[in-house]
Amino acid sequence: MKIQSTQTFVFLSLIWLISACSLISHHSGYDANPVYAPFHEKANELKLSAGYGRVLGIQGNASYSLSNRIAVMAGGVYNHQTIGTIGILDEIYFKIKSHYAEGGIGYYFPVEGKAITQVEIFAGLGSGIINKKTDFDKNFSGSYQEWNSSFQKTFILITAKKPTTDNLDIGFANRLSLIHFDKLQYSSYNDSARNTNLNSLVTEPVLIVNYGKRLKFTSQVGVAIPLTTPFKTTSGTRYANASGIFQIGVKYDLIK
């Protein structure tokens, strides 16, 4: 039991360390949002979640199981911050003013097996606004790149939870999203694109770890991968590069 607890602590520490070293896509207007996986087990469960990712911003979610099979969820991301990351040659600064909200309805059911014990399938809609600037100057005296757009997202989310101890949840999730960028505007020191309507199909697989009883410490690690050919400007800048998903937070089962 002591060895298992030590392994759990080391594993969670590694996850949180990776989360602190989050990545941001230097050449993409879209940055991934955290993936919410409620892991409902029975009717009348109310679950709340809040988290922070260094480049993802602040996330809040809630879900409620209407019956032993049906659940609803809603949440959003508020990402207004200025951060600095290491580029190939110099430090790059990002000024982000973006936010996003989503909601969905899902079906969950237990699975009799050794690999997984439960599956959830959600379908939903989301909407958000992107405003992101990059520059080598932390004062943003002349923006190197800038993106502005609203976007809508239609998504399907599938989660699967592995059998673990009473205090530990380990699961996997994948969110498949069709994202429509409405009148995306892009500018840089040598290129620009205006009023560009763009559709992008993105898959976002993540590993999720929750530790605790009713109050759980939670973390997720994953990546957003564009499946369609990314739109490019004349200089080759793409709007849908892959981006990392790293987040830590807390989850509370208000009614269980």
Name the least confident of 49-53, 55-59, 183-187, 199-203: 183-187
Res 23: pLDDT = 56
Q: In whole angstroms, give the CA distance from residue 46 to residue 253.
A: 6
Q: Is the pLDDT of residue 46 over 90?
A: yes
Residue with tokens 């499946």: 227
Contact (CB, 8 A) for 158 and 111? no
Q: Is the pLDDT of residue 20 over 50?
A: no
Q: Is the pLDDT of residue 87 over 60?
A: no
Q: In whole angstroms, give the CA distance from residue 217 to residue 224.
A: 23
Name the most confidently modeled range: 56-70, 87-101, 134-148, 207-221.
56-70
% of the chain with per-residue pLDDT over 70:
76
Total number of residues shown for the chain: 256
Res 124: pLDDT = 98
Q: Is the pTM of this model over 0.85?
A: no
Confidence bin at 166 (pLDDT 50/70/90) = confident
Mapped onto helix, strand or coil, the DSSP state of residue 169 is strand
What is the β-pairing status of strands 192-212 and 243-255? unpaired
Contact (CB, 8 A) for 239 and 28? yes
Mean pLDDT of the chain: 81
Name the most confidently modeled range: 1-15, 85-99, 157-171.
157-171
Name the least confident of 6-15, 100-109, 220-229, 242-251: 6-15
Could you tell me the fold of the domain covering 2-255?
A: Lipocalin (2.40.128)
Q: Is the pLDDT of residue 9 over 70?
A: no
First to last CA, the chain: 26
Q: In whole angstroms, give the CA distance from residue 152 to residue 164.
A: 36
% of the chain with per-residue pLDDT over 90:
34
Q: In whole angstroms, give the CA distance from residue 42 to residue 44.
A: 7
